[in-house]
Every structure is written in structure tokens, then in C-alpha cells.
């Protein structure tokens, strides 16, 4: 074996978390390799060109949660990261009217006032309360979860940190967080608002990526999770990455590369090599073996522990817990190439709505009923759809005059009755098109091409078991010190030398990067 196959650390998977973990390790002077199964880096943050000239953020499609300190530490703007704001959200209504949230506070307020003076009054206060709660809970994102059953010094120190954090909060903040962690998005929003399209649109943040309806307890937390993003210090702002979300990955990869990380694509990992009870490297599918002092998996928990590591190297209890980890995919994606802009009957012609998000979420009940269908094994016949038209923000995404539209769709269950096949995928795509058609009648004739992605496809292409966009649902019993398994939430695993740093670890999913960074930091702590 040549020394070129010897590393300090090997990272499995070049998704954003894997790349970030690798970059931080390289920054600390380690020799690091990232191994990617596919021919492109980025994992679920990739830009693809399924039709010549039309480029799409294939899976994840907006940015907000990416941690600002990571952007700073890895100098991502210097490496090409450019985030363009998504200024508005428009919800077309069934009566031909619409609800809009513009990037102008007064306009938004006026607009809401038109529908419900009461909600317009409540809206500012709600925004303040949620922003406060998000700010209050945010430090948790940077904490290594303690093992509450452990009496080790390390865990006691971590407990102390959690305690100190809790002490820093006021009584009101504590209760607010406790409530938000446990209640349903529907209960939360019903307490504040009355206007159905407003509640529907807001509740959507509470169900994205989960297999729950807005009235399920725990969805208020998912809603809050989506409130924790910031762009340039502006809380709750969502943006679109220049060149699509592949642009995020490209910037991180470029930064990692500059720091000396070796990135190998087309290098699927077969297995983690274990020597003397320690992870000692990996064997690739082509038979090559790479040696390393530590191995970090940025794949999902199921792959990381049930596929890459032989069962005999892990405690039975732990294996069982990983088997029990819930990874039910619930969302799909339809990427549409268009010859003209969709013309929404509620706001005809080209307008500012095309530069923001367009949300098919007329009410919470609409979304709840969509969930009901999915929980019994069908895709929703009337789905929640979040549309954006990246070519309106970044002209390079489509040929001149043409457009690309990204539609995030929920619910589409991974475990659809009878299993997914081409006919069901086609039917799912058709459901999405005909749903949009109700609000934008020209959509069908504008379609140049469409790519339909089911949870099964997310699994097959991005390598995420179950097709869950968070590598595991953000359920209460899968958060913090329980993510991915009790006693192993500190990015270490029962196999010494093997670490875990992806969305399936604390603090969970979205293009956030916190798990990758925290894992790298823990690796470095153990190094000393």
C-alpha cells in the first residue's frame, strides 16, 4: 500500500456536512480524504441539468439555515457562495384572490389587513415571539448533547453547559420553548390567527420533511427549526444560492480543497475496516483500501451503522436503536423546465410574485387532509406545494426567455401502497401539475420537461435511506441527546475511531452544516 492511501481522517460522503467536517479537520492540519459515491459532490445539495440548458437545485433548493460561523470560518463567499434573497411568499386562494407576504413590512401588513385586521394586528407580535424563541433556542444548535445517563466528567460538563444555558433564559422564554417543543403547529397558529391561507402557509414550515400533519404534536418545533435561519444576520430570511444549491456545495468543496482536503468522487465505500476494535480505514467497492486514524460518516444513520459497519462490531442494543430510528420520507420534488412563466390567475402577468416562493397551502385542513392520505399509504391528491422559480433570480439557470421551476411537494410517502413504480411516479407528477394548473392555467402548455423525484428516488440518487430529507424525522424522540441514538449523540459511536456527523445527528437537517462542524470538533478533541 502506498502512503497516498494513508490519511489522518476519512470522511464518507461529500454532502455539505461531510465537506464541512473535512474542511474543519484540514484546517486543524489533518490530512483528510472525502469519499463520494457519486460523480458529483454535494449529496442532497446539488445542481443538475436534466434537460440541456435548464439547471435545477435537484433536491434541497433554498438556503437559510447554513450556520454563519461556518460561512465565516471556511470563507465561503470567497469560494463563490452567493446568496440571493427570496423576497416574498404568495399563497393563491381558491376564490381567485391571494395572500402575499412581500419584503416590505408595511405592504405585507396592509395586504394581511385586507384579509383579516385581527391577524394583521397579531402578526408583528407573533413574529417577535417566534424570533425571540428561535434566538433563545439557537445556542442548543452549537452544544454537544450530553448523555443524561452517564456520570462521566465529560457528560457532567456537558450537562452543566445545558444547565448554564437554561439558566440564561428567562422564565417566559423557558416556557415558550417547552411549549414550542411539544405542541402542534395547528394549536400554535390557531392561538394566534384566524385567516386560513395564512395559517396554512405558516403551518407548512412545521411539516416540511416530517411525516406528520399540522395538528400532530411536535410540529411546532419543526416550524421553529425553520425559523432559525439567518442570512447576513437577518433572522428568518430565506435565500437562493447562485447556481442553485450545488453552488453551496461547490463553495464548501472549493474551500475544503484549498485547505488541502482530497475529494474523491466515484468512490463508493463498501465497508469500514476495523482493526483491533478500532476503525482503521475503509474498503472501497472497487477493492481499494484506504487507511486512516479516524473515519467520519456523513451518510444517514442506517447506512452508517447497518451497512458500512459489520454488525459484530456494534452492540446489539445500539443496532436495534438504529433500526428503530425513523426515516420515513414524506416529500417529493417536481422540477419543471418552462417555455414561459406560469401565469397565476390571482396575479396575472409577470410580477414580483415570480421572484419569491409561491405556496399552495390554502388552509391547515388542506395540508392535514394531504397528510391523512399519506399516512394510509397514498400520495396526496391535493398536495402542499412550495414553488420557486430560480431562473427569475439567477438568469443563468435557464435559456434566455425560458424558466426553471422547483416544486417541493408533500405528502408523498416512501412506503406507498404497492411500492413506487414508473406509473405511480408519473401519476404523482401529474397530480402536481394539475394542482398547479388550478392556479396557473397555462402551466401545462409551458412545460418543456419535467423531472419527478419521489422519496424512493431521493434514496436511490442521493443515497438517503427512506428518502427523508433530514436523514431522520425531526420527531421529539429523535432530537438532541436521542439523535441518532441515546448515549451516542455526541458524534462518537460505539466503534472507537468511527464518528458520525450528518443530518441524522444533532441538531438535524436542512443545509445547516452544524453536525459536520460539531463532529469535526469532537474528533479534534479526542486527538489531543
Q: Which residues bind other proteins (CB under 8 A)?
A: 148-149, 166-167, 169-171, 174-175, 178-179, 181-183, 187, 191, 212, 215-218, 317, 324, 326, 365, 368, 372, 375-376, 475-477, 482, 486-487
Q: Which is nearer to other proteins, 88 or 331 (CB)?
A: 331
Strands (E), 22-134: 32-35, 47-51, 54-57, 83-85, 89-92, 98-101
Rounded least distance, CB 194 to other proteins, Å: 14
Are 477 and 260 contacting, i.e. CB atoms less than 8 angstroms apart?
no
Rounded least distance, CB 152 to other proteins, Å: 12
Rounded least distance, CB 154 to other proteins, Å: 16
Q: Which is nearer to other proteins, 278 or 326 (CB)?
A: 326
Rounded least distance, CB 167 to other proteins, Å: 6
CA distance 219 to 238: 20
Q: Which is nearer to other proteins, 217 or 352 (CB)?
A: 217
Rounded least distance, CB 269 to other proteins, Å: 29
Q: Which is nearer to other proteins, 2 or 149 (CB)?
A: 149
Answer whether the bond into residue 430 is a cis peptide, omega within 30°.
Answer: no
Rounded least distance, CB 493 to other proteins, Å: 16
Alpha-helical runs (H) found in 8-62: 16-27
Rounded least distance, CB 361 to other proteins, Å: 17
CA distance 75 to 430: 42
Q: Which is nearer to other proteins, 113 or 192 (CB)?
A: 192
CA distance 9 to 278: 13
Secondary structure of 372-427 in the HEC alphabet?
HHHHCCCCCCCCEEEEECHHHHCHHHCCCCCEEEEEEEECCCCCCCCCCCHHHHHH
Rounded least distance, CB 328 to other proteins, Å: 10
In a 13 Å sphere around the CA of 334, the CA atoms on its Cβ side amount to 27
* Residue 258 exposed, middle or buried by CB count within 10 Å (0-12, 13-18, 19+): middle
Q: Which is nearer to other proteins, 248 or 489 (CB)?
A: 489
Q: Which is nearer to other proteins, 222 or 269 (CB)?
A: 222
Specify the length of the chain in residues: 528
Which residue, among 325, 320, 317, has the nearest Cα to 471 in the 3D structure?
325
Q: What is the torsion angle, in degrees rounded to the nearest 10, for the CA atoms of residue 89, residue 92, residue 98 and residue 99?
A: -40
Rounded least distance, CB 500 to other proteins, Å: 18
CA distance 328 to 469: 9
Which residues lie closer than 8 Å to 393 by C-beta, 6 or more apart? 84, 86, 240, 355
Q: Which is nearer to other proteins, 175 or 527 (CB)?
A: 175
Q: Which is nearer to other proteins, 429 or 472 (CB)?
A: 472
Q: Which is nearer to other proteins, 222 or 274 (CB)?
A: 222
Rounded least distance, CB 23 to other proteins, Å: 33
Which residue, among 383, 391, 398, has the nearest Cα to 354 in the 3D structure?
391
- Helix 117-137 to helix 185-192 angle, to the nearest 10 degrees? 130
Q: Which is nearer to other proteins, 215 or 503 (CB)?
A: 215
**Gyration radius from the chain CA atoms:** 23
Which residue, among 393, 398, 258, 289, has the nearest Cα to 335 in the 3D structure?
398
Are 111 and 102 contacting, i.e. CB atoms less than 8 angstroms apart?
yes
CA distance 209 to 60: 11
User: How many Å from the N-terminal Cα to the C-terminal Cα in the chain?
Assistant: 27
Q: Which is nearer to other proteins, 69 or 372 (CB)?
A: 372
Rounded least distance, CB 163 to other proteins, Å: 9
Task: Provide the β-strand partners of residue 241.
Answer: 83
Rounded least distance, CB 476 to other proteins, Å: 4
Amino acid at each position: 500500500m502506498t502512503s497516498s492511501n494513508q490519511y489522518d481522517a476519512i470522511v464518507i460522503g461529500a454532502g455539505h456536512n461531510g465537506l464541512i467536517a473535512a474542511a474543519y479537520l484540514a484546517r486543524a492540519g489533518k490530512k483528510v480524504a472525502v469519499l463520494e459515491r457519486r460523480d458529483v459532490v454535494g449529496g442532497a445539495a446539488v445542481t443538475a441539468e436534466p434537460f440541456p440548458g435548464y439547471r435545477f437545485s435537484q433536491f434541497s433548493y433554498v438556503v437559510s439555515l447554513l450556520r454563519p460561523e461556518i460561512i465565516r470560518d471556511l470563507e465561503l463567499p470567497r469560494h463563490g457562495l452567493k446568496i440571493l434573497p427570496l423576497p416574498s411568499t404568495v399563497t393563491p386562494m381558491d376564490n381567485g384572490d391571494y395572500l402575499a407576504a412581500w419584503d416590505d413590512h408595511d405592504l405585507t401588513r396592509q395586504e394581511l389587513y385586507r384579509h383579516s385586521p385581527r391577524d394583521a394586528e397579531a402578526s408583528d407580535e407573533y413574529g417577535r415571539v417566534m424570533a425571540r424563541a428561535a434566538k433563545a433556542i439557537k445556542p442548543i444548535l452549537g452544544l454537544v448533547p450530553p448523555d443524561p445517563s452517564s456520570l462521566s466528567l465529560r457528560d457532567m460538563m456537558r450537562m452543566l453547559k445545558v444547565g448554564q444555558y437554561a439558566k440564561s433564559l428567562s422564565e417566559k422564554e423557558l416556557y415558550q420553548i417547552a411549549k414550542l417543543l411539544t405542541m402542534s403547529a395547528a394549536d400554535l397558529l390557531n392561538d394566534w390567527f384566524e385567516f386560513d391561507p395564512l395559517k396554512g402557509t405558516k403551518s407548512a414550515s412545521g411539516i416540511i420533511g416530517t411525516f406528520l400533519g399540522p395538528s400532530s404534536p411536535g410540529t411546532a418545533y419543526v416550524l421553529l427549526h425553520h425559523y432559525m435561519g439567518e442570512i447576513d444576520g437577518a433572522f428568518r430570511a430565506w435565500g437562493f444560492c447562485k447556481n442553485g444549491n450545488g453552488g453551496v456545495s461547490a463553495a464548501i468543496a472549493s474551500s475544503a480543497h484549498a485547505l488541502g482536503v482530497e475529494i474523491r468522487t466515484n468512490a463508493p465505500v463498501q465497508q469500514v475496516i476495523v482493526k483491533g476494535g478500532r476503525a482503521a480505514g475503509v474498503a472501497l467497492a472497487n477493492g481499494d483500501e484506504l487507511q486512516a486514524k479516524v473515519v467520519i460518516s456523513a451518510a444517514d444513520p442506517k447506512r452508517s451503522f447497518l451497512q458500512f459497519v459489520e454488525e459484530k462490531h456494534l452492540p446489539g442494543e445500539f443496532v436495534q436503536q438504529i433500526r428503530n430510528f425513523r426515516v420515513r420520507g414524506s416529500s417529493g420534488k417536481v422540477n419543471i423546465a418552462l417555455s414561459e412563466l406560469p401565469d397565476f390567475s390571482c396575479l396575472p402577468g409577470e410580477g414580483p410574485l415570480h421572484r419569491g416562493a409561491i405556496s399552495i397551502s390554502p388552509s391547515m385542513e388542506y395540508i392535514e387532509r394531504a397528510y391523512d392520505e399519506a399516512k394510509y399509504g397514498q400520495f396526496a391528491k391535493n398536495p402542499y406545494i412550495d414553488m420557486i422559480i430560480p431562473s427569475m433570480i439567477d438568469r443563468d439557470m435557464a435559456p434566455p426567455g425560458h424558466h426553471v421551476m422547483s416544486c417541493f411537494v408533500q405528502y408523498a410517502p416512501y412506503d406507498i401502497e404497492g411500492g413506487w413504480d414508473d406509473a405511480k411516479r408519473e401519476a404523482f407528477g401529474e397530480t402536481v401539475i394539475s394542482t398547479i394548473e388550478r392556479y396557473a392555467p397555462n402551466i401545462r402548455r409551458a412545460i418543456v420537461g419535467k423531472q419527478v423525484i419521489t422519496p424512493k428516488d431521493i434514496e436511490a440518487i442521493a443515497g438517503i435511506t427512506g428518502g427523508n430529507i433530514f436523514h431522520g424525522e425531526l420527531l421529539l424522540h429523535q432530537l438532541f441527546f436521542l439523535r441518532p441514538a441515546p448515549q451516542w449523540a455526541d458524534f462518537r459511536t460505539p466503534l472507537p475511531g468511527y464518528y458520525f456527523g450528518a443530518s441524522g445527528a444533532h441538531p438535524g437537517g436542512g443545509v445547516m452544516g452544524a453536525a459536520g462542524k460539531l463532529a469535526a470538533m469532537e474528533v479534534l478533541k479526542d486527538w489531543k
